[in-house]
Amino acid sequence: MIRWRWGTVVQARREWRGSLELDVTVDRRRAEDPDSVRALAYPSLVGRPRAGDRVLLNLNALALGLGTGGYALVVAVPDNLPDDVDVPGHVVKARYTPLQAVVLAADEEASPLRSALAGAASLDGLPVVVADLHSALPAVLAGALATRPDLRVAYVMTDGGALPAWFSRTLDALRPLLAGTVTTGQSFGGDLESTNVHSGLLAARHGLRADLAIVTQGPGNLGTGTHWGFSGVAAGEAVNAAAALDGRPVAAPRISDADPRPRHHGVSHHSVTAFGRVALAPADLVMPSDLAPDLATAVRASLSALCPPHTLVEVPSLDLAPALAELPVKLSTMGRGLADDTAYFLSAAAAGRHAAAIA
């Protein structure tokens, strides 16, 4: 199940919050093994590898040719173990895996936010934008802040993709624009930790004092090409969670006229399933009002079929293109940038605009 390899660190490459990228030579065990790899270490988990250190690697992502996760992962630095760090919390993430980590949940007794969260049961009408892919995060944020620059926007990260929030260079670059990040479920590494999406939303509202929350999975969507076999199903569950807590769910469907796969052309079948079958609570279902005519007709038909219980909301988006272009991150979804898949990013930005308008 795991492709274990020994390696030796040659040099550090670049670093962002929580992550350290390395060049590592590999002790080859099979003819197809690479001589060297680009590796990723999470110093909070394994310590800080130095040039010359021997490291234990997991090569699964490289063997599978994963685009988002195309790193060898450093599992341990056996001869340079980090010092113990005592954490006041008792919540374990990545439970019963070899790298299970102890964190302090925002609502635990030892948390400074305990008093604020212990009795919290409502989002008080907080708009919650729910999207399938992590790549929608910067676009939703751009649309929201272009509409209301004063808003405090929190990111609530689910555990359908990457578990460490540190893996996301996008999130690292967006930090100055966010009130903070809450990692939920088995994900970890946010400014606040939570047990599930419900407590994560409450932490965003009452801990980070957010005026608006964005919910997506971390980087690395999992899909099998079947009707139900994809991690974005959780987007529908997030709509239900927001509604259960008296929030205002805003669904950001995945819209594209550039994806070559028929099941993702127009409105992705992922969005139709998540928002049409899983989301039982009503949400504002947002589409741009200024899509190209043929695309608009197809999208409107697909989304209208989900109403009720949802309400279709059409929002102008073309004037948000400059806000997208000015983001401190390079927009990318499935290898396509803003110019390649404009409809996708403008659709996400339109959801952010609508949520900001009702905040």
pLDDT in tens, 125-150: 999 999 999 999 999 999 999 999 99
pLDDT for residue 38 is more than 70 = yes
What does each C-alpha distance from 15 to 81, 180, 189, 220, 328 come to in angstroms?
Answer: 20, 20, 15, 20, 17
Question: Taking residues 222-245, what's their average pLDDT?
Answer: 92
Q: Residues 11-15: what's their mean pLDDT? A: 96
Band of pLDDT at residue 3, cut at 50, 70 and 90:
very high
pLDDT of residue 69: 67
Q: Give 279's pLDDT tier (boundaries 50, 70, 90).
A: very high
Residue 66 reports pLDDT greater than 80: no
- The yes-or-no verdict on residue 316 having pLDDT over 90 is yes
Q: What is the pLDDT of residue 226?
A: 87
With a cut of 70, say whether residue 68 has pLDDT above it: no
The dihedral region occupied by 233, where left means phi > 0, alpha psi between -120 and 50, and beta the remainder, is: alpha
Strands, DSSP E only, in 199-310?
A: 212-217, 248-252, 255-256, 266-267, 284-288
- Interval 218-235 mean pLDDT: 89
The reported pLDDT for the residue numbered 209 is: 98
What average pLDDT does the structure give for the chain? 95
As beta bridge partners, residue 76 has 56
The three-class DSSP label of residue 249 is: strand
Percent above pLDDT 90 for the chain: 87
DSSP secondary structure string, 6-55?
EEEEEEEEEEETTEEEEEEEE--SSTTS-SEEEEEE-HHHH----TT-EE
pLDDT of 263 over the 80 cut: no
Tell me the per-residue pLDDT of 40-56, one tens digit each, with 9 for 90 and over. 999 999 999 999 999 99
Q: Does residue 17 carry a pLDDT above 80? A: yes
pTM of the model: 0.95
The two three-digit tokens of residue 172, written as one number: 């690292």
Residue that the structure tokens 């940038």 belong to:
337
Contact indicator for 107, 118 with CB cutoff of 8 Å: yes
Q: Is the pLDDT of residue 262 over 90?
A: no
Q: What angle do CA 153, 250, 115 make, to 5 degrees?
A: 50
- The first and second tokens of residue 61, run together, are 């992502």
Long-range contacts of residues 92-95, Cβ cutoff 8 Å, at least 24 apart: 93/163, 93/183, 93/186, 93/187, 93/188, 93/193, 94/163, 94/186, 94/188, 95/186
Segment 346-350 shows an average pLDDT of 98
